[in-house]
Structure 1
């Protein structure tokens, strides 16, 4: 088994990373990226299994970054005092009139 590494990718310019192009009457798969939304740095299309693998690596990295971010966020009253979980403003909790 070989080690899989993430290759540097650029967003596809014709479809702006969406993978589809809007035609006059319908949506078409982008010919520039083959529907992936990303191309190699040299502009070549990423094919089949490699596209799935590279997108999975990017998704796993984004999910791990999101987990780290969510663990660092304070919850409960401390989040309310800092304005993180408060819709109004920092320190402005929900006054119930008691």
Structure 2
């Protein structure tokens, strides 16, 4: 059953893309110095569908979602366990002298 009225129970995820004006750098080159990009509110990110800058409070929330997803991906890559033949070389089996790893080589 879909919710038909009232505020949303979950915060909507908005797809973000790099700002085309500053190419994600948050600053643009002026004549003599770098200036804050006005197209993306100096964040380097815009809404992917429309290309419009997000309000700052919404931008903070969406960047937090992106950061959490990146952290999850990093943790998955760090904790990936070896499979197949290399798994026996990665884990200690305590069959060697003094309880060390024995690989049979």
Same fold, judged at TM 0.5 (above): yes
1:55 aligns with 2:63: yes
CA-to-aligned-CA distance 1:20-77 (integer Å, 9 cap, x gap): 1122322111011111111112111101110000001000100110000011166xx7
CA-to-aligned-CA distance 1:66-97 (integer Å, 9 cap, x gap): 000011166xx74xxxxxxxxxxxxxxxxxxx
**Structure exhibiting the larger radius of gyration computed from Cα positions:** 2
Tell me which stretches of 4 or more aligned residues in structure 1 moved more than 3 Å. none
CA RMSD in angstroms comes to: 1.8
Structure 2 regions of 5+ residues with no counterpart? Answer: 1-7, 83-88, 91-105
Structure 1 regions of 5+ residues with no counterpart? Answer: 79-98
Secondary structure at 2:40 match in 1:
coil
Secondary structure at 2:46 match in 1:
strand
Match of 2:15 among 8, 26, 42: 8
Aligned to 1:46: 54
1:32 aligns with 2:54: no
With the length of structure 2 as denominator, give the TM-score of the two structures.
0.64
How many residue pairs get matched? 76
Aligned to 2:86: none
